[in-house]
């Protein structure tokens, strides 16, 4: 069975975005080649991206812009993966989005994700948004948590955890930027 992997950037005080959804603090420490390679490695282990409706415009516009207009960008390898990978956006209100390799799922979240996990292929990855990820966590659908802890506290913001969630720490990797990647498994 395929696994659903969550990859998320998180502040020291446990937020994945500012109250307005912004993640401007994520790259405050500057580029980190080793951390970037880990992000690529995680993406390459998957063939499907799950996204919440609110994240689609920013996500697809960002990566498609890099692929189409910034051929020399250091983000080009990841951008190619993000654009070319099959994406499924979950929405109760919209049935169509303009983006490459994207389909819309309007059905029950738990049922749809369980069916995706049963299909043949590589693993599945989710990046956000915060409310969507929170729903996946509450439904116990995440199989592996990859949490990049950024060396900054932002004071307030959006959290993905809405209730107690006991996890087992499987590994920890520290990066030169001060970020730490913790891989957790649900208990």
Segment 13-47, tens digit of pLDDT: 999 999 999 999 998 887 889 999 999 999 999 99
Handedness of CA 56, 103, 77, 45 (dihedral sign): positive
Segment 85-106, tens digit of pLDDT: 999 999 989 888 889 999 999 9
Segment 116-136, tens digit of pLDDT: 999 999 999 999 899 999 999
Q: How confident is the model at residue 51 (pLDDT cuts 50, 70, 90)?
A: very high
**List of domains in the chain:** 4-18+30-186 (3.40.430.10)
d(CA 55, CA 130): 9
Q: Tell me the whole-structure pTM to 2 decimals.
A: 0.95
* Residue (of 127, 145, 116) closest to 59 by Cα position: 127
Mean pLDDT of 130-158: 97
Q: Which residues, including other chains, have CB under 8 Å from residue 151's CB and lie 6 or more apart?
A: 12, 29, 177, 178, 179
Segment 62-86, tens digit of pLDDT: 999 999 999 999 999 999 999 999 9
């Amino acid at each position: 069975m395929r696994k659903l992997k969550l990859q998320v950037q998180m502040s020291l005080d446990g937020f994945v975005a500012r109250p307005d959804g912004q993640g401007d603090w994520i790259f405050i420490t500057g580029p980190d080649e080793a951390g970037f390679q880990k992000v690529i490695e995680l993406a390459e282990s998957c063939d499907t991206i799950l996204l919440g409706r609110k994240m689609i415009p920013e996500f697809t516009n960002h990566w498609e812009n890099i692929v189409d207009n910034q051929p020399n960008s250091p983000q080009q390898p990841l951008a190619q993966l993000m654009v070319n990978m099959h994406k499924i956006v979950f929405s109760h209100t919209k049935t169509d989005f303009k983006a490459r390799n994207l389909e819309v799922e309007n059905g029950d979240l738990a049922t749809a994700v369980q069916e995706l996990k049963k299909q043949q292929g590589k693993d599945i990855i989710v990046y956000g948004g915060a409310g969507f990820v929170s729903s996946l966590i509450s439904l116990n659908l995440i199989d592996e948590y990859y949490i990049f802890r950024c060396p900054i506290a932002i004071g307030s913001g959006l959290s993905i955890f809405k209730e107690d969630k006991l996890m087992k720490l499987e590994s920890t990797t520290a990066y030169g930027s001060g970020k730490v990647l913790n891989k957790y498994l649900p208990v």
